[in-house]
Amino acid sequence: MILKTFSTLCAQSQVCFRSARAKSTLSAVIDETGKSGLILKSLSTDIFENLALEDWIHDHVDLQNRSMLFLWRNAPAVVIGRHQNPWQECNLQVMRQKGIPLARRRSGGGTVFHDLGNVNLTFFTSKKNYDRHRNLQVVTSALKGLRPDMDVRATERFDILLNGHHKISGTAAKLGRTAAYHHCTLLCSADRALLSAVLKPTCQGIKSNATQSVPSPVKNLLDEDPTLDCDTIMDSVASQYNTEFGFSSPVTLVDPSDELSLPGIQRMARELLAWEWTFGRTPKFSICTTFELKNDTSICNATLNMDIKNGIIESCDIEVPSDWLPVELSREFSIHLVGGKLCPYETSVIAAELLRTIPQNKELERKMYNLCRRVVFMM
C-alpha cells in the first residue's frame, strides 16, 4: 500500500496555505489533484476528532464528481446514533469508571463500541451516487480476497454477517442536500468483554420514542483467522476500493486535529464533545421505575417518576414509604432535581446540599444518602 502524508500532498499540488484562495486547505488540495477518488487514513484515535473530520469533509469538500474513503480507528469509546437515548443504550456508570467517552454521531443507526480492534470505514459520495450495497460489496470482497473461503455477506439491514450468524459490521449514514456518507464498523480484534459490559444499560423503566439498537451476536475476524489484523484488513479494503471504482489512489495520512489544514475542525470537535449535544439532544423520554432501599435494620421499595426533555429533568416524583423516610425529605429531593441535568455530578451536588440540611440524625442521614445514591446510579 502506498502511503502519503497530507503535507506531502500539499507540497506536490503547490497549493498549501494560499491566502488568496477562498477554499480551505484540504478542499483546495483535493481540487488541485483533480482525482475522482481519494483514500484518507486518520492519524488520530480520538473519537471526537474523527467524527468531526467526517462532518468537515461532508460540509467542505465538493463531492459531486468525487468519491472518498476514510479509514479510522479509535481508542475505547461508545458511539450512539443521532436519534438515540444514551441512558437506554449503554452502561454509563461502567463507562465513567473506566474513562470511556460517549459520543453522539450525526448519522442515524444504532449504538456501537469502538476500540483499536475495530476498523471504521466511511464512504463519501454525492447524494446521487450514494450506494450502501456497493460499499459493503467492497468490504466483503476485500475480506474474501484475504481468505477466499470466508463466509461473509451483507444483509438487507446493511449489516455484514460472518458464517450467516455473527455480526461483524454495522452501518449508518448521513444524507445531506447534495452530499452523503455511509460509514460502517468492522470487528477485527475488539475487546468483546468490554463491549458487552458497556452496551448493557442499567437504567430501567425508560419510555421513549428514540431509535433503539437491535442486539446481535458478534464475533471478531481475528477469531476466525489469526492473520486478519486491522492493518491487513485496511490495506485490503483500500485496494479493493480502488479496484471497484477504477481509482488508483494511494492512502493519504491526515491529522484531524490540524486546524491549519482543516479550518474550523477543532470547533466541530468541541461541539461533538459538549454535554448539550451528547446528552441534550436525546429525544424526550420518561423514567418510571421501582427500586429497593435498605439500611442495617430495614428494607423498602421506592418509586421514581421523571420526565426528561433535552436532558433536563422537567418533572420528578420520588415516593418512599413514610415509615422509612419522612415524606418531606423525598419530596424536597424531587423538587430540587427539577430543572437540573439528568447528570450524576449535578445530582450529587444537589444531594450533598440537601444532606447538610438534615437535622442531626444519623439514621435519617444514612437513609437519605442511600436514596440519593440509588437515584444517581440510574444516571
**Per-residue pLDDT reduced to its tens digit, 130-171:** 999 999 999 999 999 999 999 999 999 999 999 999 999 999
* 95 and 164 fall within a common domain: yes
179 bridge partner residues: 126
262/302 same-domain check: no
Average pLDDT over all residues of the chain? 91
Does 12 score more than 80 pLDDT?
A: no
Q: Mean pLDDT over residues 364-379, rounded?
A: 91
Question: Over the stretch 97-112, which tens digit does the pLDDT of each residue have?
Answer: 999 999 999 999 999 9
189 and 298 assigned to the same domain: no
Residues 256 and 293 in one domain: no
pTM of the entire predicted model: 0.91
pLDDT band, residue 26 (cuts 50/70/90): confident
Predicted confidence (pLDDT) per residue in 224-270, tens digit:
999 999 999 999 999 999 999 999 999 999 999 999 999 999 999 99
Same domain flag for 149 and 259? yes
209 and 302 inside one domain: no
Residue 22 lies in a domain: no
| 24: confidence class by pLDDT, cuts 50, 70, 90 | very low
Grid coordinates 467542505 are at which residue?
A: 60
Distance CA 342, CA 292 (A): 20
Same-domain status, 220 and 331: no
> Per-residue DSSP letters for 102-171?
EEE-SS-S--EEE-TTEEEEEEEEESTT--HHHHHHHHHHHHHHH-TT--EEE-TTS-EEETTTEEEE-E
Of 239, 255, 279, at which residue does a domain stop? 279
Residue 18, pLDDT score: 31
Provide the pLDDT for residue 287.
Answer: 97
- Least confident range of 17-31, 120-134, 336-350: 17-31
User: For the chain, what is the domain count?
Assistant: 2
Do residues 156 and 71 share a domain?
A: yes
Structural domain containing residue 290: 285-378
DSSP summary character for residue 341: B
The C-alpha cell that represents 51 in the structure block: 467524527
Give residue-wise pLDDT tens across range 313-333. Answer: 999 999 999 999 999 999 999
**Cα distance from N-terminal residue to C-terminal residue, the chain:** 46
Q: Which residues have CB under 8 Å from 164's CB, separation 6+?
A: 151, 153
The answer to whether the beta carbons of residues 171 and 132 sit under 8 Å apart is yes
